[in-house]
């Protein structure tokens, strides 16, 4: 009986339980708001490695999908630079029909001597529930211009230019002995390999080789010098570095002249052989000003002053790089000069004076022979005559 009664009790209890716990099918409630549980956010940087030159850019793209994996339009996002420096074209963005939104990151210029670094861009959905807003970050590798990110086991090129800002056409020393043959994961030099070759490109169309070289850059400008080193395993790496070349020393103008006290119409001889170029340069031209409105060229010109007075003669020399010297000046006092000789004669026959002005002539008659220096003419039926000409 007791067994039967227990079975009955179980049956009744089961019946009661079945009646009280009937479960009907129910729909999963739709998630609302910006809750991350209903959104899938993926952030990428294209490209994820750029030069730190103040101009290179990377596109930050956020892709948002809903719980069913479909692109989600109209989602507001905020982008911030989590670590590092730089600039974003926009800090807020909204996804389009394709579920994507983007902003552009511009890298800052690297400080002199800086090495590779990275920047973190953080994108966060924004809406009405800040507690559900989960940030998503992406990193961008920044490399200063000319710096190659070290590869494990690869050589590391390094060089120093002395002087740091050489002058045009003046020797500069480029020393690459600080390069190493191999590096570890952190980019530090190791002793597992040795550099066996140094190859230089000076950026002016010429090249060189060896750990230490001497080179003269031809012009005043900025050159991109590249050193490529190769280790004993045949692995090569390069590094580029800007070298700013200055104009160098200016030429110096100097001259002499003779005679020291010329007169009007006298030939004055000038000589600029004492002028000197700056180190590494050559004099290409000489520019003269006579002080009376005329100019001349050449190292040893001549000149005649046509009036009395004091005249400031100026010389400027120009080197092959176009650099001009400060002007060299000297004052020349031009006098009246030495007067031309004059002579007075009296006609032996009639007592009339002969002309004394150069360029004129006169003829007189005389019965006797003409004196030395005269030209004698005669004809039948006429008296002998002679003439004097200047």
Q: Which residue has the higher pLDDT, 179 or 357?
A: 179
Report how far residue 253's alpha carbon sits from residue 324's, in angstroms, rounded to the nearest whole number.
9
- Say whether pLDDT at 255 is over 50: yes
- DSSP secondary structure letter of residue 186: T
CATH of domain 160-244: 2.60.40.10
Report how far residue 287's alpha carbon sits from residue 325's, in angstroms, rounded to the nearest whole number.
10
Which residues are CB-neighbours of 244 under 8 A, at least 6 positions away? 165, 222
- Say whether pLDDT at 71 is over 90: yes
Asked if residues 194 and 232 have their Cβ atoms less than 8 Å apart, the reply is yes
| Residues 38-143, CATH architecture | Sandwich (2.60)
Q: How far is CA 358 from the centre of its chain?
A: 67
pLDDT (tens digit per residue) in 275-290: 999 887 899 999 999 9
Per CATH, 38-143 and 160-244 having the same topology is answered yes
The percent of residues above 70 in pLDDT, for the chain, comes to 74
pLDDT (tens digit per residue) in 113-146: 777 788 999 999 987 666 657 889 998 988 887 6
**The CATH number of domain 256-334 is 3.40.50.880:** no
Give mean pLDDT, residues 32-56: 76
- Say whether pLDDT at 386 is over 70: no
pLDDT (tens digit per residue) in 320-332: 878 899 999 999 9
Domain boundaries, the chain: 38-143, 160-244, 256-334, 344-390
Q: Name the pTM for this structure.
A: 0.41
């Amino acid at each position: 009986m007791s067994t039967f009664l227990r079975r009955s009790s179980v049956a009744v209890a089961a019946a009661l339980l079945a009646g009280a716990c009937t479960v009907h099918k129910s729909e999963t409630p739709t998630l609302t708001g910006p809750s991350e549980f209903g959104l899938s956010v993926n952030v990428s940087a294209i490209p994820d490695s750029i030069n730190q030159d103040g101009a290179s850019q990377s596109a930050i793209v956020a892709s948002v999908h809903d719980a069913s994996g479909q692109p989600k339009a109209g989602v507001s996002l905020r982008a911030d630079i989590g670590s590092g420096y730089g600039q974003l074209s926009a800090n807020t963005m909204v996804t389009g029909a394709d579920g994507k939104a983007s902003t552009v990151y511009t890298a800052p210029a690297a400080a002199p001597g800086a090495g590779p670094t990275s920047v973190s861009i953080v994108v966060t959905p924004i809406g009405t529930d800040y507690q559900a807003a989960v940030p998503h970050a992406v990193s961008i590798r920044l490399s200063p211009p000319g710096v190659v990110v070290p590869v494990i086991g690869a050589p590391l090129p390094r060089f120093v230019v002395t002087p740091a800002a050489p002058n045009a056409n003046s020797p500069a020393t480029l020393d690459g002995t600080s390069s190493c043959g191999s590096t570890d994961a952190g980019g530090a030099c190791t002793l597992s390999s040795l550099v066996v070759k140094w190859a230089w490109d000076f950026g002016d169309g010429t090249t060189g080789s060896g750990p230490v070289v001497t080179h003269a850059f031809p012009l005043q400008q900025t050159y991109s010098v590249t050193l490529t080193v190769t280790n004993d395993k045949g692995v090569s790496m390069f590094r580029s570095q800007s070298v700013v070349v200055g104009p160098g020393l200016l030429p110096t103008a100097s001259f002499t002249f003779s005679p020291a006290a010329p007169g009007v119409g006298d030939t004055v001889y000038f000589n600029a052989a004492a002028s000197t170029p700056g180190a590494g340069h050559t004099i290409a031209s000489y520019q003269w000003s006579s002080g009376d409105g005329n100019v001349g060229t050449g190292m040893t010109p001549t000149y005649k002053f046509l009036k009395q007075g004091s005249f400031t003669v100026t010389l400027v020399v120009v080197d092959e790089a176009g650099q001009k010297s400060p002007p060299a000046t000297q004052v020349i006092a031009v006098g009246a000069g030495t007067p031309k000789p004059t002579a007075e004669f009296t006609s032996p026959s009639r007592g009339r004076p002969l002309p004394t002005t150069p360029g004129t002539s006169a003829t007189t008659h005389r019965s006797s022979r003409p004196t030395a220096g005269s030209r004698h003419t005669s004809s039948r039926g006429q008296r002998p005559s002679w003439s004097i000409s200047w």
